[in-house]
Amino acid sequence: MKTLFLALTGFLLVLLTGGGSPSLAESQPYTSPEMMKELHIFRNKVGAVFILPQALGPHPGASYILSRAKELHLTPAQISRIRTIRRHMVTRSLRQFARIDSLRAQFLSLMDRPNPPLKKGWALYKRLTRLMAQSTFDHLAGHVEVGKVLTKEQWRLLK
């Protein structure tokens, strides 16, 4: 009984003193509200668009690096460069996602016919998958570009 009382008291103290995890906005001090909105849209779409999202695994993204800016001892110049890279990556990806959605709708509409024109369907499908591959690779290239901003010591701290 005494252990349960101590555990409950400790839990309440943590709650009351704000020992919980920080909000997303607090964990992203170098992210503007506009970029947070774009990142939310991006993250909701990426699974349906990127062909090999697991390729991003060994290459941390800009938001992840920025969330650890103090721990990694990022300089103001590094923070600025990473924010610029992220803005370009997300803006480009969102434009690509819009084109992918349009091509996907065209393809599905074409193939919904009883006797679809297969040559036209094949051409649309090739354009669609090529754009998906390009979008995946462009984003991966952005992750690699972010990694090049870090020093060897900062990479070591990431491990």
The pTM of the full predicted model, rounded to 2 decimals, is 0.70
Residue 10 lies in a domain: no
DSSP labels for 137-151?
Answer: HHHHHHHHHHHHHS-
For residue 133, is it within any domain? yes
The answer as to whether 18 is a domain residue is no
To the nearest whole percent, how much of the chain has pLDDT over 70?
76
Q: What is the pLDDT of residue 156?
A: 92
- The string of pLDDT tens digits covering residues 95-124 is 999 999 999 999 999 999 999 999 999 999
Q: Would you state the structure tokens that stand for residue 106, as one six-digit string?
A: 């065209």
**Is residue 138 domain-resident?**
yes
Domain residues for the domain of 57 are: 24-158
Count structural domains, the chain. Answer: 1
Q: Is residue 32 part of a domain?
A: yes
Asked, for residue 48, whether it belongs to a domain, the answer is: yes
3 state SS of 112: coil
